[in-house]
Amino acid sequence: MATLGMSAADREALETFRLDVIEPSMTSLVILDFWAEWCGPCKQLTPILEKVAADYTNRGVKLTKINVDENRTIAAQFRVQSIPTVYAVFQGQLVADLTPARTEGQITRILDQILGQLPVEGEAQQLEAEIEPLIEMGEDVLATGDAERAVSIFEQILEMAPENPLVIGGLARAMVAAGRAEEARSLLDAAPEAVAGDPALGRARSALALAEVAPANAETAELERRVAAYPDDHEARYELAGALMAAGDRDAAADHLLEIVRQDREWNEGAARKRLLQFLEVVGLEDPWTSQQRRRLSAILFT
């Protein structure tokens, strides 16, 4: 901002603006609220902005209010023609006009979009970066079959990030794998409402549901004999698939379910296909094995 020909008061206002807005915006997202005492709509919007800013503080959002009557130079620099006018500033640049937003929901949706696109450095982002490799470690340990160790890892991460859905879901799945289904259920039931619908928790609930119908210690010998003797015994094959999945033999489990679909895709209202999709959700939709089984299922259904 040019200062040539400005009064001392204007230069002081610009220095204050630099300290309160420009410098913090190098790492934070600064919301600028242009207002005035005589502005009725401003007074209605102020508590909403203050609440949203407080809720987003740990995500690197800061609210700065600028009285246009006391800071005419700043208002002129931003070409403010009416109030309330609300802008978002990051790294000294205006990145969004929040003026049309008047409700908490509208404002938060815009902020979520901005924060998803810009490298804003808040406590939440820093914590996310810190726990990301720890979550990966927990998942790797769980994949090797060491469920109790995975539980221990996820419990430690949960202390750091008690509302992170990836951590809650990972811990619940580890508990299920360790035979601690009731603890997993309690953990999922106590999950914060804000993350209750997250896919990570849905994956954990699927794992819990599978554990209930096919406990890890389920016997497979008799079921295998029944399937060998009567290949079209879909009920036995279906139960065997669940037991094999619980035992960690996902390839064999998928093979049996796909065989049911191949023989009779509508058996028991499509139960085999539904169970296979449930298996895939538990394994994880990003897993290459899941993609492979989806292709196999599609080949059966569409040929």
> H or E element: which one contains 190?
none
Residue 87's beta-bridge partner residues? 32, 97
Contact between 188 and 201 (Cβ < 8 Å): yes
> H or E element: which one contains 33?
strand 29-35
- Is 50 annotated in the active site? no
- Is 42 annotated in the active site? yes
What is the residue type of 224? E
> Strand (E) positions, 84-171?
85-90, 93-97
- Residue 45: partners with Cβ closer than 8 Å, 6 or more residues away: 33, 35, 84, 86, 102
Residue carrying the six token digits 């106590």: 190
Q: What is the DSSP letter of 192?
A: -
Question: How far from chain centre, in Å, is Cα 250?
Answer: 27
Q: How far is CA 223 from CA 8, 120, 207, in A?
A: 89, 56, 22
Half-sphere exposure of 106 (CA within 13 A, CB side): 11
One of 39, 153, 166, 167 is an active-site residue; which one?
A: 39
Supply the DSSP string of 39-89, one letter for each residue: -HHHHHHHHHHHHHHHHTGGGTEEEEEEETTT-HHHHHHTT--SSSEEEEE
One of 32, 42, 83, 236 is an active-site residue; which one?
A: 42
The residues annotated as belonging to the active site are 39, 42
